[in-house]
Every structure is written in C-alpha cells, then in structure tokens.
C-alpha cells in the first residue's frame, strides 16, 4: 500500500476514535446545543405567562420531568430510549427535564436551578414522572426570584 494512503487511513481511524471517545464522554452535540438554547431562552424570559410550545427554541414532541433519585434505568424505561446525555438527579430541588423529538432525546437537563438560571415545574405526576406532549398548550406562570426564572404549570 502507498505510504501516503496508509498515513491517511491511520489518521482517519485516529480521528474517528477521538470523536467516538468524546461522544461517549459528553453525549450528543445536538443535545448539548439544545440544552444551551434552552438555558439561554428560559433564563431570559420576561413574560408572566407562556406555554412550552412558545418558550422552547427547538423541535420537540414530549417532555418529561422526573422525581429526585429516579434511577437511570427507570428514566430510560419511561421515555422508551437511551442516550449518553441522561443522568440521575442527585439531590432534592434539581431540575430534570428530558425533551424527545420523534422518539430521540432532543435535550436532557439535570442540574440545580441556580446553575441553570431557570426552573420548570410540571404537574400531573404518575409515579416518578410528569409528562407533557407538544400541542397541549399548557400555560405556565413565569416568575423571577434570585436570578432564577421559574415556570410553574398553571392551574
């Protein structure tokens, strides 16, 4: 084999290995981008009432919120898919949201509201999960306290 081709194939294989390693460590770059968009958009809200359809800046079909300490296995079973971006909440009061788009994880947030700059509170809990589907147009009251924007399901 030509030495140039051999070096090219070795470099390409190394690049693919690095990409696979990074993906396994941080998850999908699309999910990370959507998490960033969600943080930027929700933490800047000035409305007093809004729907998630209006507020969320990316395509989604369903959103789930999970109770603290819900196992990763239960989260995967509830949403019906797996993603490197899914994590378990490790304390009370954490925001844990999983947005799905056509069955795939579009965004997965699990952090303290003070770190995120927002909090989203869903109602209608069944077991360890609350769920909304796109198109339900559920209204959320929007308040701001100590630099955290809080969206609480009206109603």
Please spell the DSSP secondary structure of 7-74, one letter per residue.
HHHHHHHHHHHHHHHHHHHH--HHHHHHHHHHHHHHHT---SEEEHHHH--S--SEEEEE-TT--HHH
Between residues 112 and 90, the one the model is more confident about: 112
Per residue in 73-89, pLDDT tens?
999 999 999 888 898 98
pLDDT at 12: 82
CB 109 within 8 A of CB 83: no
Average pLDDT over residues 46-70: 95
Q: Lowest mean pLDDT: which of 13-17, 18-22, 60-64?
A: 18-22
Give the confidence band of 105 by pLDDT, cuts at 50, 70, 90.
Answer: very high
CB 58 within 8 A of CB 34: yes
**Ramachandran angles phi, psi of 78, nearest 5°:** -65, -45
Task: Show the tokens assigned to 155.
Answer: 């109603």
pLDDT at 7: 86
Per residue in 133-144, pLDDT tens?
999 999 999 999
Q: What is the DSSP letter of 89?
A: -
145 membership: H or E segment, kind and range: strand 139-145
Q: Lowest mean pLDDT: which of 20-24, 26-30, 122-126?
A: 20-24
Statement: residue 41 has pLDDT above 60: yes
pLDDT at 22: 60
pTM: 0.83
pLDDT at 11: 82
């Amino acid at each position: 084999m030509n030495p140039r081709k051999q070096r090219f194939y070795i470099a390409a294989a190394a690049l693919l290995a690095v990409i696979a390693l990074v993906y396994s460590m941080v998850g999908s770059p699309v999910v990370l981008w959507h998490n960033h968009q969600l943080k930027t958009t929700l933490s800047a809200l000035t409305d007093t009432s809004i729907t998630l359809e209006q507020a969320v800046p990316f395509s989604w079909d369903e959103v789930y919120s999970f109770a603290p300490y819900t196992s990763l296995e239960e989260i995967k079973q509830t949403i019906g898919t797996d993603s490197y971006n899914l994590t378990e909440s490790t304390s009370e009061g954490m925001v844990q949201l999983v947005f799905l788009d056509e069955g795939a994880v579009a965004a997965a947030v699990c952090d303290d509201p003070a770190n995120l700059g927002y909090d989203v509170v869903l109602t209608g809990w069944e077991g360890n999960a609350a769920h909304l589907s796109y198109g339900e147009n559920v209204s959320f009251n929007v308040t701001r306290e100590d630099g955290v924007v809080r969206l609480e399901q009206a109603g």
